[in-house]
Structure 1
Amino acid sequence: MSSSPPATADTATAVTATADTAAADTADTATADTAADAAATENLLRCWIRETAVPRPADDLLTVPLPASGVTVEAPVRYWSPVGWHRFGPAHVQGTGTPLAASALAALIAVETAAADPAQVADLTGRVADSTRRTAEFVRQRAGQPADPEGTTAFLAAEQALITGHPLHPTPKSREGLTDAELGAYSPELRGSFALHWFAADPSVISADSTLAGRTAQGLMTELAEDSVRAPEGTVLVPAHPWQAKDIVTRPAVRALLDAGLLHDLGRAGPEWSPTSSVRTLYRADAPVMLKFSLGLRITNSRRENMRVELERGAAVDRLLAAGLGDTLRAEHPGFDIVRDPAWIAVDATDGSPTGLDVVVRDNPFPASEPVQAVCAAGLVAPRPDLGPDAPSQLATVVRGLAERTGRSITDVAEDWFDRYLQHIVTPVLWLYATYGLGLEAHQQNTLVVLDEEGRPAGGRYRDNQGYYFSPTRSTALYGWVPEVGRDLGTYVDDEIIDERLAYYVGINNMLGMVGALGSQGLADEDALLRRAADTLGKLAAEHGDRLRLATTLRTAATLRCKANLLTRVHGMDELTGPLEAQSVYVDLANPLAGAAR
């Protein structure tokens, strides 16, 4: 029988250090779990309030009766936002004081909204639990490495800053299908990076388009491979996200291509790319383009696979911008532009079914060598629990820094910052819709803000080939550049539908979301910001008249149609499939701008 050696001072010190490290790790994990659960609970309560029209409680104690379960949930109100960006303390069961974790609250809410469908109850509960667990991991790992790695561009840093995600979504960080091991590589929140997975396809099963001067999509793929992979003679290189590559080889249509020798799996190779906030769009600071892949993970509400009409839409809009719209837009609003999607390439199945092998080529206006760096609006306003329980967002840091340097009050600086945001982001988007009937689905994640050297908005960029809408009554103004553009691109829909979508994405999510961020972070009074927004909308309505009824609707309508992310999730709807007008649940929201306008 062996015995342990006697403990020495060095051994005791090592044991103590190990114990201290373990205790610190445990504390870090507990802190991360608490922060993630608090964020998820607030999201659920915000969604419930918005989607069921709960009024502000008189005593700053929110009560949510849930008769289907026979309980009432309570939560102290830390901040009540006119636009819905409320803040709450921990939730508990009324009467017993039993604390409610986010997953337990999700189960109660799911029973209330979908009691007749146990599968929907289980689905929402499981996804909230998954999203919360992922968020806790992001907080824990980022807290251990708070500084951005050397060489990180401002663009990429903002893309990686959405630690808790959309504040009015029940499952903003759900990544169904990702293993824990994959999470680190494929998550922007963990600063992941990885090499692409390459396939080679026979030209007979390739579809592609390119507006790049003198360059085909096929040729660009060869350039991006950088001699790290060789395609069999006579074939075309096609990259894939590594997770997608693993998934698609099990699909019958792809398996048939592989078996027939029309497709070759070449494996991973080449330089590493970083995921941006959408997870599936990848960036390299030294590359001329970004790549947007299909990714069959369910992220928020949808499986993120490219549809052919979206690929075609991006190239069509690029041709439109190149034909003259881009110059016209920049002449009217010099600081605003659209990030282009000038090419795409895809592999077609012999039976016509989706292969999941399709790539959007997106321009990269923000390489390391470019002094102008635009940052994602959602990343700019994002809370940062990874930096501490009261750590400021980048927006708060910018506003407070400006106030300190200029000697002005934080409130004055925040109001000025918001005025500039309206001027450089909201106004160009609504001008484009009024003048040319081209609507942009410019929610905060699709909006990039160009900041000047002091941190004030000086311009903006829009990105996303999914989010272009063409108005039947006004997009004819584009035909002088590209005849009939938009008619066959899947979003040529009635103005009423476009107005509803833009009222949500541009008005509620983006503009009012910025109001909520400034207010909930203690930087400005939301009512004062709402008056400024109403003034801007009034000027736009006067300038454009009937061509921009949306501005009047946003400014004066008693209610606005608002996407209900909780109900959309409960009912298992995929926002990328089905008719445009029926892809999400929409509810009526009391319009906080109406009072401001009066």
Structure 2
Amino acid sequence: MERRESGPDSLVVFTTGGRRLEGPLPDPYATGDRVTELRLDGRAHRQAARLMAALDVPHGAAFAAELDDSTASLALSRAGQPREDLDDAPKAGWQWEQRVVDGHPYHPNCRSRPGFSVAEQLAYAPEHRPLVELGTVAVPAGECLLTGAWPDRLRDGDRLLIPVHPWQAEHVLKAGAGRGPSGPGFTAHPLMALRTLAPAEGGPHVKTALSTRLTSSVRDISGRSVETAAVLSDFAQVLCERLDGRLHVTRTLGAVTAHSPDLAAVLREPPDTCAGPGERVLPVAALAGTAAVRSAAWRGEFARLVLSVCLEVLDLGVALEAHGQNLLVVLSPDGNPVRLVYRDLGDIRISPARLAAHGLPVPAVSGRQITDDVTALRRKVFGSAVAGALAATLGSARALGEALAQPVSPVPTADSEALAREPIPVKALTLMRLSPGVPGDQWAELPHPAAGPRDRG
């Protein structure tokens, strides 16, 4: 794109080829707005895939097909949803997770599930509320990498029973040279992540390998993540001791791989265990439908909790990827946010220099998780907790700007000062889908939510 012009109610973008794209002036932090039409060279477009095809950009045809798939999948997700009040009697954690119908609030392919038929989506996707039958593959313990503990119920003599998602069994293990399920199975409720499930009989949540791309990435389980699972889990408990009970990180109880990302599993402590009497634990992504969020006082209290915890943890040396799926909130019996719960340590960033400054040990991990780069650390936190969890919950630039304007700690840090005045980093999710040869994340910057509408345009 070459240049932009904005009026009081519209935004015009001119491409490098001289084409004119026009639409309503956007609020980049709003999730409730519905844009029904954009105009390209004066012609109205009401379907995202057709607009992308008409723009004729590199890799646009493949992306247009993904948009069509996501649109159809989203329509399927919304079809037949019961009209329920999220503020009814407390529900089990998996029920809260299955209330999130629309998927990723900002991803253009928010419900894209390539490789899943309609029947498979109905059978496995959480918003359709199925019971999923997980199989197990028996593998000799000597042929596995295991960290943490593995329960007796998932053992058969000297063999480990690795839980397998039925989609994985049908499309990957049976299709390749791997092994199909042969051991005893169990039923489970799919959670927001689809490949992570809560056993119907209770107990640890089970993260399974699911070797397909959901939104941006292929969701397998790497050997490295199994290798570091226990180390990171133990480290997180040490970190939480510095937060005076305001944060709990769910423990990784065990992780195993048959030395293949296609055949691996992780057992994780359920977030529900963090709730006291009368309390509820729900993913932040489920908050947008609750009556409490409509209260300005509640929004302010929630924002202070999220910002104070995430900024304090960042100052200590850990950047959490605290988006609406990884971040959960504990609500008191009267509905007030009292604590946070975080799950899935696989994509955090760790700063050895910051940890050392606070007398904290550096966990024995390496690779992309370790960095002292301030930009990388802030992008991880600001792009997930602020542009993700908070923005999607609060629903507008105005509400987010008000949240960022309030003090969250008695002593400002360089990170909190940057958050108060600098543009907000976000993953450039559309660019990432249009750049198939570029590995890793790509980033853009959004105007600070305190900026006026013309500045945001």
Q: 1:53 to 1:473 in 2, by over 3 A?
A: farther
Where 2:353 maps in the other structure, the secondary structure is: coil
Where 1:87 maps in the other structure, the secondary structure is: coil
Q: C-alpha separation between the residues in 1 aligned to 2:125 and 2:97?
A: 11
The aligned counterpart of 1:425 is 306
Q: C-alpha separation between the residues in 1 aligned to 2:4 and 2:97?
A: 33
- More strand per residue: 1 or 2? 2
1:504 aligns with 2:442: no
Q: 1:457, CA displacement in angstroms?
A: 1.6
Q: 1:488 aligns with which of 341, 366, 372?
A: 366
Query: What does residue range 434-513 of structure 1 map to in structure 2 within 5 Å?
Result: 434=315, 436-476=316-356, 483-488=361-366, 490-496=368-374, 497-513=376-392
Count of matched residue pairs: 450
User: 1:202-256, CA deviations, whole angstroms, 9 ceiling, x for partnerless residues?
Assistant: 222111011xxxxx3153524xxxxxxxx4x5422111111112233256552xx
Q: 1:83 to 1:293 in 2, by over 3 A?
A: same
Q: 1:76, CA displacement in angstroms?
A: 4.8
Q: C-alpha separation between the residues in 2 aligned to 1:289 and 1:374?
A: 15
Q: 1:534 aligns with which of 399, 402, 405?
A: 405
CA RMSD of aligned residues (A): 3.2
Query: What does residue range 163-312 of structure 1 map to in structure 2 within 5 Å?
Result: 163-210=101-148, 216-217=149-150, 219=152, 221-222=154-155, 231=156, 234-250=158-174, 254=178, 265-266=181-182, 269-284=184-199, 286-312=201-227
1:326 aligns with 2:265: no
Where 2:441 maps in the other structure, the secondary structure is: coil
Q: 1:433, CA displacement in angstroms?
A: 1.9
Q: 1:56, CA displacement in angstroms?
A: 4.9
Q: 1:347, CA displacement in angstroms?
A: 0.7
- More helix per residue: 1 or 2? 1
User: 1:555-581, CA deviations, whole angstroms, 9 ceiling, x for partnerless residues?
Assistant: 122x3432111101111368xxx5xxx
User: 1:392-431, CA deviations, whole angstroms, 9 ceiling, x for partnerless residues?
Assistant: x23xx2345xxxxxxxxxxxx32x1122112322211211
- Unmatched segments (≥5 aa) in structure 2: none
Q: 1:313 to 1:326 in 2, by over 3 A?
A: same
Where 1:303 maps in the other structure, the secondary structure is: strand
Q: 1:100 aligns with which of 46, 62, 67?
A: 46
Q: 1:371 to 1:283 in 2, by over 3 A?
A: farther
Q: 1:562 aligns with which of 426, 430, 453?
A: 426
Q: 1:272, CA displacement in angstroms?
A: 1.4
- Unmatched segments (≥5 aa) in structure 1: 1-50, 115-119, 211-215, 223-230, 259-263, 349-353, 382-392, 401-412, 520-525
Q: 1:528, CA displacement in angstroms?
A: 5.8
Q: C-alpha separation between the residues in 2 aligned to 1:553 and 1:64?
A: 29
Q: 1:514 to 1:380 in 2, by over 3 A?
A: closer
Letter of the 1:307 counterpart: S
Q: C-alpha separation between the residues in 2 aligned to 1:185 and 1:370?
A: 34
Q: C-alpha separation between the residues in 2 aligned to 1:556 and 1:466?
A: 30
User: 1:454-477, CA deviations, whole angstroms, 9 ceiling, x for partnerless residues?
Assistant: 323222111112232210211236
Q: C-alpha separation between the residues in 2 aligned to 1:86 and 1:108?
A: 26
Higher gyration radius (CA): 1
CA contact (8 A) 1:74 1:91 kept: no
Q: 1:151 to 1:312 in 2, by over 3 A?
A: farther
User: 1:302-337, CA deviations, whole angstroms, 9 ceiling, x for partnerless residues?
Assistant: 110112222333311222245x433333x2xx3421
Q: 1:504, CA displacement in angstroms?
A: 1.4
Q: C-alpha separation between the residues in 1 aligned to 2:266 and 2:359?
A: 25
Compute the TM-score of the two structures, normalised by the length of structure 2: 0.87
Query: What does residue range 335-484 of structure 1 map to in structure 2 within 5 Å?
Result: 335-348=246-259, 354-366=260-272, 371-381=278-288, 393-394=289-290, 397-399=291-293, 413-414=295-296, 416-434=297-315, 436-476=316-356, 483-484=361-362
CA contact (8 A) 2:2 2:16 kept: no
Q: Identity of paired residues, percent?
A: 24
Letter of the 1:169 counterpart: H
